[in-house]
Amino acid sequence: MRLRKIIGRPVEYVCLLLGNLLFGLGFNLFFRTNDIAAGGFGGLGLVVSHFIPVSVGTVVFVLSVPLLIWSLCVQGVKYTVSALLSTAALSLFTDALAFLPTITDNKLLAALCGGACYGLAAATLVRGQVAGSGSDLLGRMLITKFRVLTLGTFVMLVDAVVILLSILTFGNVETGIYAGLSIVVCSFVTDAIINGSNKAYMFQIITQVDADYLSEQISRELDRGVTLIPAKGMYRKEDRNMLLVVVSRRQVYAMKDVIKAHAPDAFVVLVSANEIMGEGFKGLDVTVPIKELEAEREKKGN
């Protein structure tokens, strides 16, 4: 059982290989010959290879070795094995696909397409719940020590340093701007894929309609839970009911129809919910080392 925990599920390997394959394709098809160092260790490898006759994939792997050792101490065996495989796959695909010709010499188009490819790759790794490599791995290590900042902030700082180094190396500010643009596109695509299907909306319904009746209609037609919060209108000093309901993106219009049919005079606030934690939803605090989280779960299990 212990070995199975470390190895993980087959789907994790599929996502790991596919995600890093997309990284390798994005780098070689759009970034490599256009000198666009779009952050991460791949971008840093592009800068280093400009001075030293060594492949980008080799640079990525060598730079990751100290982080993997650190990860073994902080995050535990399972995460480190996943990070090691991800790093090896990224290095392999980056070098193995170097024979591919660059699709376009238009740097703007290369930044947009390469950023989209990177975003799809990052989303694939996240969906598969596998560890990343490079700047993502570095960010996850740093955030366990400096918990006042977010993981995204650390990754952004690493990417900013890489872009600055690329500007100094290639002597071209424009190339750095394109690298920054590709990172923005990557972030947008990643968020769109990850949050797009899971995005939820919260209805805050303030009404004088019987709470039990309206809750029953919502549960019957949408199969969603309802939370009742007692409220008071401070203008007329009248007691009211506030119902809190979270629905999926596809259920928004159906929810509006229910309100119009059963509580037409209700005051409704619709809020976009980017993250939900609690029963039925899983959240992970990345500031806490995974090794500690697993130890806590095993303790509760015993």
Dump pLDDT digits (tens) for 260-270: 999 888 899 99
- 143 shares a domain with 112: yes
- 141 shares a domain with 67: yes
* pLDDT at residue number 166: 86
- 169 shares a domain with 131: yes
Write the single-letter amino acid at 26.
G
* pLDDT at residue number 300: 58
User: Is 127 a residue whose pLDDT tops 50?
Assistant: yes
User: Would residue 296 count as lying in a domain?
Assistant: no
- 149 shares a domain with 126: yes
Q: Which two tokens stand for residue 110?
A: 């290369």
Q: Considering the entire predicted model, what is its pTM? A: 0.68
Q: Cα–Cα–Cα angle for 189, 46, 165, nearest 5°?
A: 90
Domain's final residue, options 179, 196, 213: 196
Mean pLDDT of 265-285: 67
Q: Taking Cα atoms as reference points, which of 17, 30, 41 lies closest to residue 117?
A: 30
User: Is 100 a residue whose pLDDT tops 50?
Assistant: yes
Domain's final residue, options 196, 230, 252: 196
What is the domain extent for residue 246? 200-273
User: Is 283 a residue whose pLDDT tops 50?
Assistant: no
Q: Say which residue, 30 or 234, is predicted with more confidence.
A: 30
User: Is 3 a residue whose pLDDT tops 50?
Assistant: no
- 111 shares a domain with 56: yes
Q: What CA–CA distance (Å, rounded) separates 113 from 179?
A: 12
User: Is 301 a residue whose pLDDT tops 60?
Assistant: no
- 8 shares a domain with 139: yes
Give residue 94's pLDDT band: very low, low, confident or very high (50, 70, 90): very high
Rg value, the chain, Cα: 24
Q: What is the mean pLDDT of the chain?
A: 81
Q: Which residue has the tokens 């170097």?
A: 98
- 165 shares a domain with 62: yes
Per-residue HEC secondary structure of 6-63 comes to HHCCHHHHHHHHHHHHHHHHHHHHHHCCCCCCCCHHHHHHHHHHHHCCCCHHHHHHHH
- 219 shares a domain with 108: no
- 112 shares a domain with 49: yes
User: Would residue 17 count as lying in a domain?
Assistant: yes
* pLDDT at residue number 298: 59
- 206 shares a domain with 167: no
Mean pLDDT of 183-208: 79
User: Would residue 283 count as lying in a domain?
Assistant: no
- 131 shares a domain with 55: yes
User: Would residue 20 count as lying in a domain?
Assistant: yes
User: Would residue 55 count as lying in a domain?
Assistant: yes
* pLDDT at residue number 1: 40
Q: What confidence tens digit (pLDDT) does each residue in 38-68 have?
A: 878 888 888 888 888 889 889 889 988 888 8
Q: Say which residue, 135 or 38, is predicted with more confidence.
A: 38
* pLDDT at residue number 230: 84
Q: Number of structural domains, the chain?
A: 2
Give residue 280's pLDDT band: very low, low, confident or very high (50, 70, 90): very low
- 235 shares a domain with 136: no
